Amino acid sequence: MIDVRNISKTFEGAEEVKALVDVTTSIEAGDVVVVIGPSGSGKSTFLRCLNKLETADEGGHIYIDGVDVLHPKTDINKVRAEVGMVFQQFNLFPHKTVLQNVTLAQRVVRKRDKGPAREKAMQLLQKVGIHEKANVYPDNLSGGQQQRVAIARALAMDPKVMLFDEPTSALDPEMIGEVLEAMKTLAKEGMTMVVVTHEMGFAREVADRVIFMDHGAIVEEGTPEHFFVNPIHDRTKLFLSQIL
């Protein structure tokens, strides 16, 4: 489903930052991949390169569902419509109600009629358990509720892949559970997911595969059993000992 070959990303600026260094991996349809690693290791950059919110350096390739993402002739908006993304800061549209947040892209990008878009939105809001708040503005919701709306908003596009960038890191502890629950449901339904998170419980329970990144490179990847029971690399061991 996702094929990443030799991707690097350099941020130009006062000083050059190599955020990704020659990353190669592939993700099968239906897989849930959890990306972990210390702060600044390039997890977000990796995720953001997948839907071209950041443009990877020349030389590498990214294929999503067979489409060459970095090819100049590729319509990136078509790719993005197939790839949902959930952000740490939710990024809901504050000037639109919950319902409008979920219908907007359906109407504008998918060109769905009002009725079907609304129906789809209500169905997804129900799924993430927030349909009573359909006509409320995002500012009046708790963080956990906002993040669930953000998930519904991304799902409304019928994406083939969902990307999550630390979806629970900005949440109060008592709200983390509800968001993880929604994500678990999604995983069980067979959604292809790439999740950057520090929630090791989620990784252990849901992940098909865990990727550990450090200094912009993939250090180690494998099943959760492999990872949490007998990791190979010292850096992985050190990181896990700090976080667990």
Partner 1 sequence: MIVRKRIAHHAFWQAAFFGIIALGIGLLWWASSEVEYVWRWYRVPQYFIAQMDVEINAEIEGTVKAVEEKGDKVFITVAGAYDKETYAAPAGSARVYEGDFAFPGDPLAVYEVTRPGILLQGLWITLKVSFIAIIFGILLGLFTGLARISDNPCLRWLAITYIEFIRGSPLLVQIYLWYFVFGTIINNLLAKQGIPPISSLWYGVASLAIFAGAYVGEIVRAGIQSIHRGQTEASRSLGMNYVQSMVHVILPQAMRRILPPLAGQFISLIKDSSLLGIIAIRELTKATREVVTTSLQPYELWFVCAILYLVLTFSLSMFVQYLERRTLIS
Ligand X SMILES: Nc1ncnc2c1ncn2[C@@H]1O[C@H](COP(=O)(O)OP(=O)(O)OP(=O)(O)O)[C@@H](O)[C@H]1O
Chain residues that interact with partner 1, rule: CB under 8 A: 51, 53, 77-78, 80-85, 87, 89, 91-95, 104-105, 108-109, 150, 153-154, 157
CB of 9 to Mg ion, least distance (A): 13
Which C-beta is closer to ligand X: that of 35 or that of 130? 35
CB of 214 to partner 1, least distance (A): 25
Is residue 35 within 8 A of residue 19, CB to CB? The reply is: no
Q: Which does 53 bind (CB under 5 to 8 A by kind): Mg ion, partner 1, ligand X, none?
A: partner 1
145 near Mg ion, rule: CB under 5 A:
no
Q: What is the DSSP letter of 56?
A: P
d(CA 81, CA 154): 9
| SS3 state at 240 | helix
d(CA 65, CA 62): 10
192 φ, ψ (degrees, to nearest 5): -80, 120
Using the rule CB under 5 A, give the single segment among 39-47, 139-147, 200-208, 235-243 that binds Mg ion: 39-47
Q: Which does 42 bind (CB under 5 to 8 A by kind): partner 1, Mg ion, ligand X, none?
A: ligand X
8 near Mg ion, rule: CB under 5 A:
no
d(CA 228, CA 241): 10
105, 123, 142, 215 from 239: Cα distances, Å: 39, 40, 31, 13
d(CA 113, CA 111): 7
Q: Which does 192 bind (CB under 5 to 8 A by kind): Mg ion, partner 1, ligand X, none?
A: none
44 near Mg ion, rule: CB under 5 A:
yes
Which C-beta is closer to ligand X: that of 43 or that of 52? 43
d(CA 143, CA 136): 14
Which C-beta is closer to ligand X: that of 11 or that of 24? 11
Q: Give the footprint of Mg ion on this chain (CB under 5 A).
A: 44
